């Protein structure tokens, strides 16, 4: 019996020795990357107003349209004179970046004496890619002129936004 117990002890010691000499579990390592992209702050400047020019109202309501290219259409019952222009906005930022364009879709013009008129607005682009000198977009509109619209100088303001995409 002693021989059997001794053999068992020798086999156990051999197994323990093998376990102690076995290689440790393989450890893995890796590196990560941190990145950042810096864009110049966007500047947005209004360089010309949406100008419908001078309108002589008539006995019926009608509209005056100025396209984003600055072309005016004076509809039935109205007489239009003077130079019309689309509003122009210059955008500065990081060259090659895409900028989304958004803003108000209507503007209310208030008369200097009395009265109001509403203009729906149209944008020449929903987005633009900035070049080395930035970019620009235009805003046109369709002005609703009431029958016998009260005389006066009419003005209104609208908001536009340019934001990196």
**Residue 117 structural domain:** 43-164
Residues 74 and 25: their CA atoms lie apart, in Å, by 84
Q: Looking at residue 24, what is its pLDDT?
A: 60
Beta strand residue intervals within 8-78, DSSP E: 43-48, 54-56, 62-66, 72-74
pLDDT tens sequence across 122-134:
999 999 999 999 9
The runs of H, that is alpha helices, within the chain are 2-21
The pLDDT of residue 25? 74
- 91 within some domain: yes
pLDDT digits (tens, 9 = 90+) for 61-85: 999 999 999 999 999 999 999 999 9
Report the domain count for the chain. Answer: 1
pTM for the whole structure: 0.80
To which residue do tokens 């340019």 refer? 162
Q: Is residue 74 part of a domain?
A: yes
């Amino acid at each position: 019996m002693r021989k059997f117990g001794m053999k068992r002890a020798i086999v156990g010691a051999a197994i323990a020795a093998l376990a102690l000499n076995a290689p440790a579990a393989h450890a893995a390592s890796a590196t990560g990357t941190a990145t950042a992209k810096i864009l110049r702050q966007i500047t947005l400047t209004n360089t010309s107003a949406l100008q419908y020019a001078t309108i002589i109202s008539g006995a019926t309501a009608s509209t005056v349209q100025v396209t984003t290219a600055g072309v005016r259409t004076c509809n039935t019952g109205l007489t239009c004179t003077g130079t019309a222009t689309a509003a122009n906005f210059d955008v500065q930022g990081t060259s090659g970046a895409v900028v989304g364009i958004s803003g108000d879709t209507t503007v209310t013009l208030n008369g200097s004496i009395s009265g109001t008129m509403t203009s729906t607005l149209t944008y020449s682009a929903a987005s633009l890619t900035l070049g080395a000198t930035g970019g620009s977009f235009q805003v046109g509109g369709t002005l609703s002129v009431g029958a016998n619209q009260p005389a006066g100088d009419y003005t209104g303001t609208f908001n536009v936004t340019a934001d990196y995409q």
